[in-house]
Amino acid sequence: MIDLNADLGEGFGIWRLGDDDALLAVVSSANVACGFHAGDPATMRRVCTRAVAAGVAVGAQVSYRDLAGFGRRFIDVAPGELTDDVLYQLAALDGIARTAGGRVTYVKPHGALYNAVVHHERQARAVVDAVVAYDPALAVLGLPGSTLLRLADESGLRTVAEGFADRGYTPAGVLVPRTEAGALVQDERTVVERAVRMATEGVVVAVDGTAVDVAVASVCLHGDTPGAVGLARAVRAALEEAGVAVTAFAP
């Protein structure tokens, strides 16, 4: 059993990014943009409605307030303000999801915020504070070993670790930085195989060839290129062929 998650609803106004409908047929969890890096209210409502219809779990993909930078630039926002920014996004999406017959069941930080809370104690704490304040029954989806998941766990939140079949891992089980060789796995068959092995054995082959334990409950897929959607479908098909059920961790 494994969860597949992807970012959805990342357009804004007239602009679209990725193929939301195609991905909703592949993933079990949709990280829905909440308006701060992408995602206008009409897009949020459409994605929530379709996710509910497809039986896909809805998560709040919360971000720094940065439409111009798509949330990909670190912002040194004060923790108190970050808590309130996350709370605002989370509440807005949850309200929309509820009118669509669903609800938000987890939170996943986006882009630069995702990267920041791997180590940035105060911002990680700020995100956790928002989730606890809104609903302590929500799960937090993030990088295994991150400060975010540690603090979320300490605060009594359910934490869910995710893996990346298209990213290289070090022998220590962490991602190879994007600036280093081996950061990206581009061969599609290899990506599919890595996804299956993560799901079935909890193991990934690191850049030095050793097999490393990666206990992940979700695999992150990408959908912002046509090729990515095809790859996402291939991953799901291979998982099902291997007898792995694709199921949301927080339905």
> Applying CB under 8 A, which residues contact a second copy?
11-17, 35, 38, 40-42, 44-45, 65-70, 72-78, 80-81, 84-85, 87-96, 98-99, 112, 133-134
At 172, list the tokens. 């220590």
Query: Measured from the CB atom, is 1 or 73 closer to a second copy?
Result: 73
State in angstroms the smallest separation of the CB of 45 from a second copy.
5
State in angstroms the smallest separation of the CB of 159 from a second copy.
21
Query: Measured from the CB atom, is 113 or 198 closer to a second copy?
Result: 113
Query: Measured from the CB atom, is 14 or 172 closer to a second copy?
Result: 14
State in angstroms the smallest separation of the CB of 95 from a second copy.
2
If one counts every other C-beta atom within 10 angstroms of the C-beta of residue 237, the result is 13
Give the integer Cα–Cα distance in Å for 81 and 238. 43
State in angstroms the smallest separation of the CB of 90 from a second copy.
7
At 23, list the tokens. 């991905």
Query: Measured from the CB atom, is 92 or 195 closer to a second copy?
Result: 92
* 3-8/29-33 β-pairing: parallel
If one counts every other C-beta atom within 10 angstroms of the C-beta of residue 247, the result is 14
The residues, any chain, with a CB within 8 Å of residue 189's CB and separated by 6 or more, are: none
Q: ∠ at Cα 167 (164, 168), nearest 5°? A: 125
